[in-house]
Structure formats: C-alpha cells, structure tokens
C-alpha cells in the first residue's frame, strides 16, 4: 500500500468517526428527552470511546501520510524535516493543526461523567469536522471566494454529519417505542429528528450544489474525469439517501398509527440502508477529495 492509498483509508476512517461523534451526540444532547438520552448514551458509550480513540489516532497518522504523499513516499512519511515542512508551510498542515487541537479536546470525554462527556464530544467533534474545510479543495481559492468556500464546506460537513451520524441513535430510539415507560419520549425524539432532519438535508443539498460550482463551475458531466465521475456517483447516492428519508418520513411514519409494528420495522430497514449508503458516500469523498478537481 502506497501513502496515497493509506491516506485515503485514513481519511475514510477518520471521517466516519468524526461524523458519528458529531451527529449522534448532537442529536442525543439537543433533541432526545433527558431520561431517554441518558439510556441511549449509556448504550453508545463503548462506541463513542472507540470513535474518539480512532479519531485521535487517524488525526495523528494523517500528517505523516500527507508528508509521504507530498514527498517521495514512505521515506518522507517518517522524515521529521518533511513532516515539519508540511505542517508549517502548507495549508494542509495549517488545517491539520485545527484538527489536532480538536482531537485533543475529545480526550476528556473518555473520563467525564456521561452528560458532560456528551457536551464535550459535540463541541470537539464539531471543531474536528470544521477543520476539514481547511484541508480540502477550498484551500485552492483565496480572498472572499476562498473564505465563502470554507464556510460552505463547514456547513456541508456539519449538516451531513448531523443527518448521517444521528441515524445510529435513531435506531436505538426506534427500539424504545416498545417500552411503555419510554414510549412517549421515543416518539418525541423521533419527531424532533424528523424536523431537524428536514433542515439538515436541505443544507446538505444546497451546500453541496454550491460546493460543486465553486470547485468545477458546472455539474460533473465529464465522466472521463475520475474526479467528476466519483462526484457524480456521490450526488446520485445522496439523491437515493434523500429518497429513503422521504419515504420513511412521509410513507411509513403516518402508517405507524394503524400498522405500528410493520411500519417501525420498515423505518428501521430504511435507516439501515441510509447508514450503509452513508458509508459509501463517505468513502467516495475520502477518495475524490485526493484528486485534482478537473
């Protein structure tokens, strides 16, 4: 495996971890009623800790891998002089500093009481995702255009993470519909997710379109370009994701009043499909984010 392939894999694992931490715990902290939030937080505690450790490790690995990519391969990935040059003299290095700070801020969440740990996780993972805007294609532009591009990228990753990351605790909320003592809170949490999801999906679509035109200046219609082909595939998959979300919300949720068991099962299957497609989308972003946008 060369440094480029290793960096793509590292970016994928890092992004999955960061999106999960941000989306899942922003949802649990802000939209899930207190008693149910504590219950779900306990169930997700091991997953949260694994994601935090993974995010920290992948952040640490990203800089030397980037040095190897910019330099002459693995030899420069372990060369202190090259790593220092990438850190101090490139926009990628400056963006990495933001992510390194955010990754370190995640660590106290491993030791804090549950509710405080959730708040720290939300704040630090949000900063971790925002740092991605300073390592991507937005760094190719300067001035007000570059500033607007970075802000748009931040909106894109945070809204996408709020949508996809929240799907994991949503699966747990669905299970609590069968428990009489938590049923009302579970219904409330699902409706809040639905309302917030409309906003998140709208922001994902709008910021994605803006980003496409800021980078390419047009829709990705030239499939002879690897970048455009992968971007087009991402757009298609996001459209499918939106379709699944619409079906869940406007077909199966209303049916819950009459056929609750089968409707909840259908929503769960649809949510699993969204999570699976989300993994593919994140993988595509990790891949074409390394390519020249032509």
- Over residues 71-95, the mean pLDDT reads 84
Residue 94, pLDDT > 80, answer: yes
Question: Contact at 8 Å (CB) between 157 and 130?
Answer: yes
Query: What are the extents of the domains in the chain?
Result: 3-288
**CB atoms near residue 34 (< 10 Å):** 9
- Band of pLDDT at residue 261, cut at 50, 70 and 90: confident
- Band of pLDDT at residue 179, cut at 50, 70 and 90: confident
Tell whether the torsion through CA atoms of 162, 164, 169 and 175 is positive or negative: positive
User: d(Cα 81, Cα 5) in Å, to the nearest integer?
Assistant: 22
Average pLDDT score over the chain:
88
Lowest mean pLDDT among 14-28, 99-113, 132-146: 132-146
- Over residues 243-272, the mean pLDDT reads 85
Per DSSP, the three-state class of 218 is: coil
**Ramachandran bin of 152, using left for φ above 0, alpha for ψ from -120 to 50, beta for the remaining angles:** alpha
- Band of pLDDT at residue 9, cut at 50, 70 and 90: very high
- Band of pLDDT at residue 205, cut at 50, 70 and 90: very high
CA atoms within a 13 Å half-sphere pointing along the CA-CB vector of 145: 10
Residue 95, pLDDT > 60, answer: yes
Q: Alpha carbon 153 to chain centroid distance?
A: 12
Q: What is the pLDDT of residue 202?
A: 94
Q: Phi then psi for 92, rounded to 5 degrees?
A: -60, -45
- Band of pLDDT at residue 26, cut at 50, 70 and 90: very high
Task: Give the pLDDT confidence of 138-152 residue by residue, as tens digits.
Answer: 566 667 777 888 899
| Helix axes of 34-43 and 183-215: crossing angle, nearest 10 degrees | 70
Q: What is the pLDDT of residue 139?
A: 61
- Over residues 46-70, the mean pLDDT reads 92
Residue found by looking up tokens 């409330």 in the block: 188
DSSP state of 93: H
Question: Contact at 8 Å (CB) between 18 and 55?
Answer: yes
Residue 169, pLDDT > 90, answer: yes
Q: What is the pLDDT of residue 156?
A: 92
Residue 1, pLDDT > 60, answer: yes
């Amino acid at each position: 495996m060369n440094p480029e392939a290793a960096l793509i894999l590292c970016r994928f694992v890092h992004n999955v971890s960061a999106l999960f931490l941000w989306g899942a715990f922003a949802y649990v902290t802000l939209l899930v009623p207190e008693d149910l939030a504590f219950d779900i937080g306990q169930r997700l505690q091991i997953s949260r800790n694994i994601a935090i450790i993974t995010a920290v490790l992948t952040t640490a690995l990203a800089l030397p891998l980037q040095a190897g990519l910019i330099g002459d391969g693995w030899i420069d990935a372990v060369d202190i002089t090259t790593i220092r040059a990438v850190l101090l003299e490139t926009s990628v290095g400056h963006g990495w500093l933001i992510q390194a700070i955010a990754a370190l801020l995640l660590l106290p969440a491993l030791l804090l009481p549950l509710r405080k740990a959730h708040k720290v996780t939300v704040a630090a993972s949000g900063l971790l995702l925002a740092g991605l805007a300073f390592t991507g294609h937005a760094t190719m532009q300067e001035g007000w255009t570059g500033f607007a591009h970075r802000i748009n990228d931040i909106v894109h990753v945070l809204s996408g993470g709020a949508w996809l990351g929240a799907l994991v605790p949503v699966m747990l909320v669905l299970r609590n519909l069968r428990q009489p003592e938590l049923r009302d809170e579970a219904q409330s949490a699902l409706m809040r997710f639905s309302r917030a999801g409309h906003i998140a999906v709208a922001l994902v679509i709008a910021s994605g379109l803006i980003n496409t035109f800021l980078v390419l200046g047009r829709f990705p219609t030239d499939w002879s370009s690897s970048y455009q082909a992968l971007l087009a595939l991402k757009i298609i998959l996001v459209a499918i994701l939106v379709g699944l979300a619409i079906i869940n919300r406007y077909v199966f949720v209303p049916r819950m009043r009459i056929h609750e068991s089968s409707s909840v099962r259908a929503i769960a299957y649809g949510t699993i499909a969204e999570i699976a497609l989300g993994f593919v989308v994140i993988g595509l972003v990790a891949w074409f984010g390394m390519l020249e946008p032509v």
